Amino acid sequence: MKAPPDQGVSSFIYPPTGPNLEFFAKALQSGCLIAIPTETVYGLAGLALNEEACRSIFAVKGRPLMDPLIVHIPNRSMAGELAELPDCFQLITDRFWPGPLTLILNKKPIVPDLITAGKPTVAIRMPKHPIAHELLEKVGAPLAAPSANPFGYVSPSTAEHVAESFGENVPFILDGGPCEIGLESTILDLSDPETPQILRPGAISADEISDVLRVPVISNKVHLGGDQAAKAPGTFFRHYSPGTNLSLFEKENPPVLQKDHAIVFLDRPGNLLDKNVFWLSEDGSLEKAAQSLFGLLRKLDRLNYSVIHCEMPTIDSGGYAEAIRDRLSRAAAK
Ligand code: TXA
Ligand code: MG
């Protein structure tokens, strides 16, 4: 493929100019893969209804075929072409789409089994990031896009993270700046609309969904194992993992500082400043901690510490706490 019209400041990363968006939309339509920004994390996108494109997504990521992909759409009406829509679809999407909520719905035959890993359901999301949205509109077709990281590694929240992990294997990365949320979307299973269930916690919490649907939403608090793993095969126990050993602690039990260990706090520790001490937000805001989490794990992973200690938010600290606990628990799982 020839080069995009407008060059970026580094190899593989291209600015979202009008001519580049046109170029990437055409490239996607012809079956190429492009890494794209979303408000959650960067995705590795290809035409969802093109089996060859989807096969390359699995191959480039090193992802097992049993782990289904999320389909991204530019507008709500496209969801009805891919899946049976439950009665609550309008209500829930009025509130949360476009945005960081993926819905698991019963699929229509048009969706290839490759995307759904043979399951009768399909995962669908309408991203809010303006560049993702514009590109999807230009392509005019659904795009499959898993997080743009090698299978099992930490997800990317900047274009540079994608380039670091894949190099020339993903030569086209559309730069949309750092992701606003920094954690993957909440996954809500509506395949049985009577019993909505969270399969992966994210920025949108079970309580917020429950308030809209006016029914209880099942959500497992810490991490999901066993049956849950079978329901969302990608939520394997160990995931989002840096190469360095990760050890978790609660605020009241910080580890003792050692010279080859890094310690990551949720907020700036007043009295314990050392070159091995890091923090995820200045003021303890969990939204800011989520934004910087994957970037800091990636950075520390390159610094050759023997252990990275990371503080877990307390379970009842609301909103993002469950999602951050979930990602940290999986990243630390042996
Ligand atoms: O925020 C996000 O959701 C990002 C951005 C790029 O949109 N995407 C993302 O995709 O996180 P991925 O592939 O890394 O995670 C998708 C998760 C996997 O755990 C997969 O098993 C689950 O969604 N999934 C996909 N289809 C499913 C289905 N039909 N039933 C249950 N789980 C499904
Ligand atoms: Mg992923």
Whole-angstrom distance, CA of residue 40 vs CA of residue 17: 21
Of ligand 1's listed atoms, the one at least distance from the Cα of 200 is 19
pLDDT value of residue 223: 42
* Token pair for 189: 């299973």
pLDDT value of residue 226: 47
Of ligand 1's listed atoms, the one at least distance from the Cα of 127 is 7
Of ligand 1's listed atoms, the one at least distance from the Cα of 42 is 6
Percent of the residues in the chain that have a pLDDT greater than 70, as a whole number? 94
SS3 call for 159? helix
* Token pair for 305: 């510490």
The closest of 182, 162, 181 to 13, measured between CA atoms, is 162
| Closest ligand by atom to 40 CA | 1
pLDDT value of residue 1: 75
The residue nearest atom 10 of ligand 1, judged by CA position, is 146
pLDDT value of residue 225: 46
39 Cα–ligand 2 center, Å: 14
pLDDT, one tens digit per residue, over 65-98 is: 999 999 999 999 999 999 999 999 999 999 999 9
Give the global pTM.
0.95
82, 107 in Cβ contact below 8 A?
yes
The residue nearest atom 12 of ligand 1, judged by CA position, is 146
Which residues have a Cβ under 8 Å from the Cβ of 144 and sit 6 or more positions away?
Answer: 45, 46, 47, 48, 53, 54, 57, 69, 70, 71, 72, 115
Whole-angstrom distance, CA of residue 144 vs CA of residue 28: 11
The residue nearest atom 19 of ligand 1, judged by CA position, is 234
Whole-angstrom distance, CA of residue 137 vs CA of residue 147: 20
pLDDT value of residue 278: 96
Whole-angstrom distance, CA of residue 300 vs CA of residue 297: 5
Cα end-to-end distance, the chain, whole Å: 41
Residue 229 has pLDDT above 80, yes or no: no
| Closest ligand by atom to 233 CA | 1
34, 25 in Cβ contact below 8 A?
no
Q: In what order do the strands lie in the sheet with 197-200?
A: 13-14, 173-174, 34-36, 43-47, 143-144, 70-72, 121-125, 101-106, 186-189, 197-200
Whole-angstrom distance, CA of residue 309 vs CA of residue 326: 16
pLDDT value of residue 194: 93
The closest of 66, 41, 35 to 202, measured between CA atoms, is 41
Residue 113 has pLDDT above 60, yes or no: yes
The residue nearest atom 20 of ligand 1, judged by CA position, is 234
Cα–Cα distances (Å) from 50 to 54, 141, 155, 177, in that order, read: 6, 10, 24, 28
Cα–Cα distances (Å) from 289 to 39, 129, 188, 232, 235, in that order, read: 15, 20, 23, 25, 22
DSSP 64: -
The residue nearest atom 17 of ligand 1, judged by CA position, is 234
Whole-angstrom distance, CA of residue 66 vs CA of residue 181: 27
Residue range 159-187: average pLDDT?
A: 97
Whole-angstrom distance, CA of residue 89 vs CA of residue 193: 9
Looking at residue 63, its amino acid is R
pLDDT value of residue 179: 98
Looking at residue 75, its amino acid is N
The residue nearest atom 30 of ligand 1, judged by CA position, is 232
Residues with CB under 6 A from ligand 1: 38, 40-41, 43, 67-70, 102, 104, 116, 119, 121-123, 125, 145-147, 184-185, 187, 199, 231-235
Looking at residue 110, its amino acid is I
Mean pLDDT score across all residues of the chain: 93
pLDDT, one tens digit per residue, over 124-151 is: 999 999 999 999 999 999 999 999 999 9
Residue 239 has pLDDT above 80, yes or no: no
The closest of 201, 305, 302 to 246, measured between CA atoms, is 305
Sorted by where each starts, the structural domains of the chain and their CATH numbers stand as: 13-219 (3.90.870.10), 245-332 (no CATH)
Whole-angstrom distance, CA of residue 280 vs CA of residue 292: 6
